[in-house]
Amino acid sequence: EDQVTQSPEALRLQEGESSSLNCSYTVSGLRGLFWYRQDPGKGPEFLFTLYSAGEEKEKERLKATLTKKESFLHITAPKPEDSATYLCAVPLSSGYNKLIFGAGTRLAVHP
Amino acid sequence: GAVVSQHPSWVICKSGTSVKIECRSLDFQATTMFWYRQFPKQSLMLMATSNEGSKATYEQGVEKDKFLINHASLTLSTLTVTSAHPEDSSFYICSAIANEQFFGPGTRLTVL
């Protein structure tokens, strides 16, 4: 059964305190892993797609990495504006573009 | 990135009435769009796949007669919640694919 698990459920950081979010997945034949940012009351905003183990992508203070079983979203020197829920998703084994999402990590960065 | 819009952004209706939500791809054409539902503090759950010019396909447990989907053009898909009840109150989000899957801003439905 396809499954995506994110940890921690919630994370509180001080401004400048780097950390990592985890996304572990179980799916037959990974066809990409997606990271999104979601602000309260809004739709998810696309961040990254990773396709193969060892791949890394960066955007400002965020860096996403991928292994055969999990992905990490590293946040370096976060700022309060990085506060959001971070979601990861993978395509279902049954359909390339159908995504299954993890429950998300709610990140709060305090000044 | 590509832009997906939704209308309305929020709607309040009485129990038993029907509500239509529009999803538009603004700067690209989308033969396929997706509809998701998100309950408070939960993640997105795929409801159905909307296919231009053909019938939508629904995920297990989603009532196709209750959630009517029409994908009439390459830039517009609509979701109609028929005979809405309080348990249908949720955040409905659509998405479309332009290289990556881009999401609309969501529609907050409250059924009284």
Alpha-carbon span B68 to B45, nearest angstrom: 17
Is B103 within 8 Å of A44 when comparing Cβ atoms? yes
- Residue A96's pLDDT band (boundaries 50, 70, 90)? low
Chain B contact probe: residue of A101, A105, A106 with most B CBs at under 10 A = A101
SS3 A75: strand
Query: Cβ neighbours of residue A91 under 8 Å, at least 6 residues apart?
Result: A27, A31, A32, A97, A98, A99, A100
pLDDT tens digit sequence for B30-77: 989 999 999 988 889 999 999 888 899 999 999 999 999 999 899 999
R_g of chain A, CA atoms, integer Å = 13
pLDDT tens digit sequence for A55-92: 999 999 999 999 999 999 999 999 999 999 999 999 98
Is A102 within 8 Å of B43 when comparing Cβ atoms? yes
pLDDT tens digit sequence for A10-23: 999 999 999 999 99
Chain B nearest-CA distance from A102, in A, is 7
How confident is the model at residue B2, as a pLDDT? 86
Is A46 within 8 Å of B105 when comparing Cβ atoms? no
